[in-house]
Structure formats: C-alpha cells, structure tokens
C-alpha cells in the first residue's frame, strides 16, 4: 500500500529565503511522485512530477524536488521564496501505474513573511 | 484546449438529501477521478471512471456513486447526505496510462 508523510503542517519562511518542504513516501513498487499546490478556494495545480529517469525534477515557479530512493523522500525546494508562494502544498504518490489512485499527504501550509 | 470544469462551485444541502456534482474533463482525456477534501486534510480518493465504468474505489460507502458519459464528462452522486460529507469535492481528468492528472476548481458542499 502506498502512503505519504509530510513533515510540518505549517512552515514559515522569510521572503527571499530557501523553501524546503519535506515529503516521505511508502510504496511497494517504484512510484510516481508529485507535488501539487493549492491556493485558497482553488483546485490543485501540478508543480512537478517524478516518473522515471533523472532524480532531480524541475517544476514551475522555480520549484524543484529530488527523488531519493534510499531515503524514500521527495522533498520540495525553492532557492528564494516569493510572497506569491504562500499556499498549501501537497505531496502525492501513485504506484498503481495506469490506474490512477493518487494518495495525498495531509499538506503543508507555507507562509512567506515579508 | 479547455481545462477541467466543475459545477456548481458551491452548494448547501440538508442532511438526508441527495446531491449530484458534475465534471467536464479536459479535452482528450478519457479517465476521471473524484476526490473528497475535508477541511484541513489532503484529498481522499473516492473512485475513478474509465470507459464509462468504475475502475477502482477508495474507502467510501456505496451511497457515493458516479457516472461517466460517452463524452467523458462525469457525475458524482451522494445519497443520504451526512454532516461529515461537508467537503471540497475535486474532479481530476487524465489520459489512461499517463501519470499526470489535471484538477478542477472543486465543488464546496456544505451539509447542514
């Protein structure tokens, strides 16, 4: 069975500081991994995904994540936080292949302090 | 290319009533999944439809049911509403075999 753990339900960073949101997963097979962002009263927007190949994945808005199989982690980073990055971020895993049951973490709310 | 659209955006129902939520898939997508997102939680998988048939289900009771139409649009029906059904319901469309799903803006259901 697949599962996702996001460490820290709330993270605060100063504008311009490094953003690091942590995600660990559990999967019985090589997983597909995702990061989604959700702004208030909005749906989910895909930031980036890992399927196969290069373990460092670049996404939209300057975000990137690294798949580390040995640590079962997929942490999200951004070198310099912007006010517009304030939102809730969800890590998700899919180990079902074409059957797309995606399991989400409980989310991390990012606050950016001016 | 149109995205995933859901209707209505908000609605309020009384406990015991029935509700139907609608979703139009992104152009070219043949698979639709529904998720329930309770306040302060991550989305929970309800079920998925492919070729008009249910293709997997999460831990939700049978009073949660769905349909997929030939044009790949979909409905989520919930019978005998309970207070705990209050949540944001998200629809996601995708192309079978491709990992990426695109989400709609959601329908906020409040049960009173």
3-class SS letters over chain B:
CCCCEEECCEEEECCCCCEEEEEECCCCCCEEEEEEECCCCCCEEEEEEECCEEEEECCCCCCEEEEECCCCCEEEEECCCCHHHCEEEEEEEECCCCCCCEECCCEEEEEC
Q: Do A99 and B102 touch (CB under 8 A)?
A: no
- The pair of three-digit structure tokens given for residue B92, joined into one six-digit string: 């996601």
Instruction: Give the pLDDT score at B95.
Output: 83
Res. B1: pLDDT tops 90 = no
Instruction: Give the pLDDT score at A97.
Output: 56
Report pLDDT digits (tens) over A3-36.
899 999 999 999 999 999 999 998 877 788 999 9
Report pLDDT digits (tens) over B64-111.
999 999 988 999 999 999 999 999 999 999 887 666 788 999 999 999
Residue of B nearest to A104 (CA): B42
Number of CB pairs < 8 Å for A and B?
65
If you search the block for the tokens 């996601």, which residue do you land on?
Answer: B92
Question: Radius of gyration (Cα) for chain A, nearest Å?
Answer: 13
Res. A98: pLDDT tops 70 = no
Q: Please tell me which of the candidates A41, A43, A106 has its beta carbon nearest to residue B103.
A: A43
Torsion of CA A59, A65, A70, A73, to 10 degrees: -110
Instruction: Give the pLDDT score at A28.
Output: 74
Report pLDDT digits (tens) over B40-74.
899 999 999 998 999 889 899 999 999 999 988 99
Which residues in chain B have Cβ-Cβ distances shorter than 8 Å to A100? 31, 33, 48, 92, 94, 96, 99, 101
Which residues in chain A have Cβ-Cβ distances shorter than 8 Å to B33? 100-102
If you search the block for the tokens 């927007």, which residue do you land on?
Answer: A45
Res. A95: pLDDT tops 80 = no
Q: Do A104 and B44 touch (CB under 8 A)?
A: yes
Report pLDDT digits (tens) over A42-68.
889 999 999 888 889 999 999 999 999
Q: How far is B88 from chain A (nearest CA, A)?
A: 9
| Mean pLDDT within B21-26 | 95
Res. A99: pLDDT tops 90 = no
Q: Please tell me which of the candidates B94, B104, B106 has its beta carbon nearest to residue A100.
A: B94
Give yes or no for a contact between A104 and A92, defined as CB atoms under 8 angstroms apart: yes
| Mean pLDDT within A79-95 | 94
Q: Do A100 and B99 touch (CB under 8 A)?
A: yes
Instruction: Give the pLDDT score at A27.
Output: 80
For residue A43, count other CB atoms closer than 10 A to its CB.
Answer: 22
Q: What angle do CA A64, A69, A71 make, to 5 degrees?
A: 90
For residue A31, count other CB atoms closer than 10 A to its CB.
Answer: 24
Rounded CA separation A52/A32 (Å):
8
Hey, which residues does A11 pair with through a beta bridge?
A110
Rounded CA separation B69/B84 (Å):
28
């Amino acid at each position: 069975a697949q599962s996702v753990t996001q460490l820290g339900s709330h993270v605060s960073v100063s504008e311009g500081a490094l953003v690091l949101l942590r995600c660990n997963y559990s999967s019985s097979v090589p997983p597909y991994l995702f990061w989604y962002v959700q702004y208030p009263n909005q749906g989910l927007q895909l930031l980036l995904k890992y399927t196969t190949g290069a373990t460092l994945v670049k996404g939209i808005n300057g975000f990137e994540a690294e798949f580390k199989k040995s640590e079962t982690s997929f942490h999200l980073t951004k070198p310099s936080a912007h006010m517009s990055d304030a939102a809730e971020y969800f890590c998700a895993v899919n180990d079902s292949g074409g059957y797309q049951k995606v399991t989400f973490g409980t989310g991390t709310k990012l606050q950016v302090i001016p | 290319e149109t995205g995933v659209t859901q209707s209505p955006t908000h609605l309020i129902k009384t406990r015991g009533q029935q509700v139907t939520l609608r979703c139009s898939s992104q152009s070219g997508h043949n698979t639709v999944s529904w998720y329930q997102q309770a306040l302060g939680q991550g989305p929970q998988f309800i079920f998925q439809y492919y070729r008009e048939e249910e293709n997997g289900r999460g831990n939700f009771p049978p009073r949660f049911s769905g349909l997929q139409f030939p044009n790949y649009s979909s409905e989520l029906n919930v019978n005998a509403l309970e207070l705990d059904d209050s949540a944001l319901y998200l629809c996601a469309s995708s192309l079978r075999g491709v990992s990426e799903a695109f989400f709609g803006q959601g329908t906020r259901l409040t049960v009173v």
